Structure 1
Amino acid sequence: MHDPYSEGMSTSETRAASGLALVFAFRMLGMFMVLPVLATYGMDLQGATPALIGLAIGAYGLTQAVLQIPFGMISDRIGRLPVIYFGLLIFAAGAVLAATADTIWGVIAGRVLQGAGAISAAVMALLSDLTREQHRTKAMAMIGMSIGVSFAVAMVVGPLLTSAVGLSGLFWVTGGMAVLGILVVAVLPRAPAHIRHRESGVARQALGSTLRHPDLLRLDFSIFALHAVLMASFVALPLALVNEAALPKEEHWWVYLTALVVGFFGMVPFIIYGEKKRQMRRIVLGAVAVLVLSELFLWWFGDRLWSLVGGMIVFFIAFNLLEASLPSLISKVAPAGGKGTAMGIYSTSQFLGSGLGGVLGGWLYQQGGLGLVFAGCAALCALWLAVTWSMREPPYVTGLRLPLSAGAARNPVLTEQMLAVPGVSDAVVIIEEAAAYVKVDLKALDRAALDHLVA
């Protein structure tokens, strides 16, 4: 029997996935490169205060949080490409506004405008249009990897680039990256049709139940807190390296490179253990506890270079672990046909955390200096630990979307029959899509019986 899941990605699918991953990388580089430099170089701007620097760091997240889901829904109506082009042009315009500003308010306005180019949901929807079902998880993993790599590159390249061309030059480079993103989108394969896909897009019908799901809400709070702590810490860490450790800002790149590389390799064994042994709850709670300890360590001992480097390494082991684990937990916990909606709310929570974290970090620094920022981050992580303590071990399942034959779509008891197949834990039939969404344990699934039902 021919198994389409054994086929490799086609040339056009590979082009689409790698091209859209590149668009994400360009955009995220533009967002993240200012993180390690804004607190140090931004203080030279007219009117700059620590609180306003914090607002400039997090401002993009506020508009991104508000506009991401609406832009995704608009792309369902008018098409993906117009929304993506428009979003990248707005991002470029925000970069130009920030590059030409000589006041902190001009940079804040530019960052707000950059965030208004909220194309994440539209890009993921286009990816669904351009890839077949059996390769979609692989294509989405390519995008996830591009985001992680762009964050690491931004932490190192940001300080090096800013020391060479200044803060204004850095914003001009991010504007150029948005233009490159437009050129990449222009040469992508064209989608034959828009696919309404509940695994990658937000469904209005699923919003209410998703917002009432306690385990999903815990994960939404988790990503909110993680990115709030990240942004608040990056108000304090560059200043601590300059003021406490006397490290020139041009040399900060090697600190971030060391912390990120060790942090990446340090998290890998824990990810493998959590997935293999099905102990992700223990891994997540442990990582949050480590974040609490790393922030306390930075608060108490963050007055010397090597203690700052050590604290950041521990911070990034826990951060990378959570950044990699939480999206996979969303996929496991979301009900059948609800992953796209759950991911939309999750991403909105992430950007909201980025925005409010920057504001909070700047305000705390202005009120009580570096120590208060790290203490505030430790307190937020302790609250996060309390919120997630009652989380249950997630189900170790995978979501599938199965196109239905005309006969299967007319079967009134198809859902019950699918639920009776060994390894299927949840199922929903969406008649208007002529598709079924199922959650399955691949180790126990009778795939032949499931394929027989939908065919």
Structure 2
Amino acid sequence: MGQRASSGNSAITQQRPATLQRRHFIIFAAATILYWSSMYIYVPILSPYLQDRNLSMAWIGFILGSYGLTQLLLRLPLGIYSDRMSRRKPFLIVGMVASLGSCLLFMLPGGWEAPLAGRLLAGICASTWVPFSVLFASYYPADQTQKAMGTLSFLMVSGQFVGMAASGLIADLGGWNAAFWTGVAISLIGTAAAIFIREPKQPSPSSKAVPNTVFADTSEVLRSPRLWMFAILSLLAHGILFITMFGFTPLQATQLGASEGQLTIIVAAFMIPHAFISLISGRSLALRFGTQRVIVVGFAAAALFTALIPSSTNLWWLSLTQALNGAAQAMYFPLLLSLAIRGFAPTQRATAMGLYQSVYSFGMFLGPYLAGGLNSYGGLKAGFWFGASLGIIAAIISSGKSLRNEQQATF
């Protein structure tokens, strides 16, 4: 009897960590989806909304890109500070609050000032994705980083899809501001969810060792050639993304006659295959075909389908280009994310992620900013062709020896 009771207690003890881990994952997943939904609830309507406020193409491009400018400035310092504090969770809560403020600013009347401030504040929110990513990776063993980043990419894309899919319908029913008010509500719920996220305890170095340790760790990360290679590839990747679905593709749709509600079709066409391929890119495609091959094919395909966007003569043709483009771009995003932090110690990961995300944030800014300028002279096709050229450059870089030498992760 005693042995049976002991055996029962042992079984409960063994089951409890799995139960707790499942609960922590569910809370983190909910917070992640809410986090991205709050920022992307207005993305499909943003360029038409700014045009409705009588802003020029150049101003629209600058405001769209300012989201990346804030991240360029903040993500690396935030990553270093997070590593030094050995804390991640407080930054998540700050990010949710920043998203709330962003949505409120977009509703203020006037010219370019309030939308620019709102987009800059959204960039502050997105900058907290650095500790967000590292915290989620800490839930997995070190040899399952690629699996963790694939799952996280799927959650991120799911949150973006939920927000973007609802955006057009909400704006169609209640006007532009209805989407922004929905973002406020999502941010409030997300803040509450973030409070309950579990952060595993990390050993902190002694106070005397902290300055030297932090300096040495930071210096080692910043001098990593492989990290810079992946960061530059991600810069080009985000330039394409923020020129297309997160930039001027919705404007292309409205010029073809799409209503706010019909923008949901365009969003779904891109985001559904994007979410699915994000989930299997690291788990299946890279294992079967090789990491380098998947990345090269992804960039080449993204270049092709981006170049075809201005050839769309109706919404169905545009939806097809978006479905193929969404799948193509999802082939490389999770792989680049996991490769960026692979090989770094836990105390270096936020710094590595901060550098990686700071560099690709420049692509978020520069891509739509330059495309907006080109659009002013050559129409939307000029910006999309520029985006396609970024994909070609990235495919060429990815086909080099440096990426070929990368070892496949263990799953």
**Range into which the TM-score falls when normalised by the shorter chain:** 0.7 to 0.9
Contact 1:55 1:362 in 2 (8 A): yes
Please name the residue that 2:309 is paired with: 298
**1:383 and 2:393 are equivalent in the alignment:** yes
Change (3 A) 1:323 1:7: farther
How many percent identity over aligned positions?
A: 20
Deviation of 1:125 (Å)? 5.4
* Equivalent of residue 365 in structure 1, options 375, 379, 382: 375
Whole-angstrom CA distance in 1 between matches of 2:100 and 2:43: 18
SS at 1:392 equivalent: helix
**1:24 and 2:32 are equivalent in the alignment:** yes
Looking at secondary structure, tell me which structure has more strand per residue: 1
Please name the residue that 1:95 is paired with: 103
Whole-angstrom CA distance in 2 between matches of 1:128 and 1:267: 16
Alpha-carbon RMSD: 3.4
SS at 1:249 equivalent: coil
Please name the residue that 1:253 is paired with: 264
Whole-angstrom CA distance in 1 between matches of 2:182 and 2:301: 36
Whole-angstrom CA distance in 2 between matches of 1:317 and 1:265: 8
* Within-5 A mapping of 1:364-443: 364-390=374-400, 391-396=402-407, 398=409
Change (3 A) 1:78 1:209: closer
Change (3 A) 1:186 1:89: same
Please name the residue that 1:426 is paired with: none
Give deviations 1:286-310, integer Å, cap 9, x for gaps. 11111221122224x2233333222
* Within-5 A mapping of 1:28-43: 28-43=36-51
**1:65 and 2:72 are equivalent in the alignment:** yes
Whole-angstrom CA distance in 1 between matches of 2:171 and 2:193: 26
Deviation of 1:389 (Å)? 2.5
The one-letter code matched in structure 2 to 1:344 is: G
SS at 1:103 equivalent: coil
* Within-5 A mapping of 1:312-327: 312-327=322-337
* Equivalent of residue 168 in structure 1, options 177, 183, 192: 177
Give deviations 1:265-305, integer Å, cap 9, x for gaps. 56777766643335211111111111221122224x22333
Whole-angstrom CA distance in 1 between matches of 2:150 and 2:270: 24
SS at 2:403 equivalent: coil
Whole-angstrom CA distance in 2 between matches of 1:51 and 1:372: 13
* Within-5 A mapping of 1:54-133: 54-75=61-82, 76-77=84-85, 80-117=88-125, 118-124=127-133, 131=139
Contact 1:29 1:174 in 2 (8 A): yes
Change (3 A) 1:249 1:96: closer
SS at 1:248 equivalent: coil
Q: TM-score, normalised by structure 2?
A: 0.81
Change (3 A) 1:305 1:316: same
Deviation of 1:368 (Å)? 1.4
Deviation of 1:372 (Å)? 0.4
**1:150 and 2:159 are equivalent in the alignment:** yes
Q: TM-score, normalised by structure 1?
A: 0.74
Change (3 A) 1:213 1:306: same
Which of the pair has the greater relative contact order for Cα pairs under 8 Å at 6+ separation? 2
The one-letter code matched in structure 2 to 1:375 is: W
Change (3 A) 1:125 1:264: closer
Change (3 A) 1:209 1:361: same
SS at 1:250 equivalent: coil
Give deviations 1:341-385, integer Å, cap 9, x for gaps. 433222222322222223223222222111101111112222222
Whole-angstrom CA distance in 2 between matches of 1:268 and 1:94: 29
Contact 1:236 1:365 in 2 (8 A): no
Deviation of 1:188 (Å)? 4.0
Contact 1:156 1:256 in 2 (8 A): yes
* Within-5 A mapping of 1:171-210: 171-189=180-198, 193-195=201-203, 204-210=215-221
Deviation of 1:157 (Å)? 1.4
Please name the residue that 1:215 is paired with: 226
Contact 2:48 2:251 in 1 (8 A): yes
Whole-angstrom CA distance in 1 between matches of 2:307 and 2:396: 17
Tell me which stretches of 4 or more aligned residues in structure 1 moved more than 6 Å: 266-270
Q: Aligned pairs, how many? A: 386
Change (3 A) 1:252 1:123: closer
Whole-angstrom CA distance in 2 between matches of 1:267 and 1:187: 27
The one-letter code matched in structure 2 to 1:226 is: A
Whole-angstrom CA distance in 2 between matches of 1:393 and 1:263: 25
Whole-angstrom CA distance in 2 between matches of 1:183 and 1:145: 22
The one-letter code matched in structure 2 to 1:353 is: G
Contact 2:154 2:275 in 1 (8 A): no
Please name the residue that 1:423 is paired with: none
Whole-angstrom CA distance in 1 between matches of 2:99 and 2:112: 18
Change (3 A) 1:282 1:92: same
Please name the residue that 2:58 is paired with: 51
Change (3 A) 1:120 1:136: farther
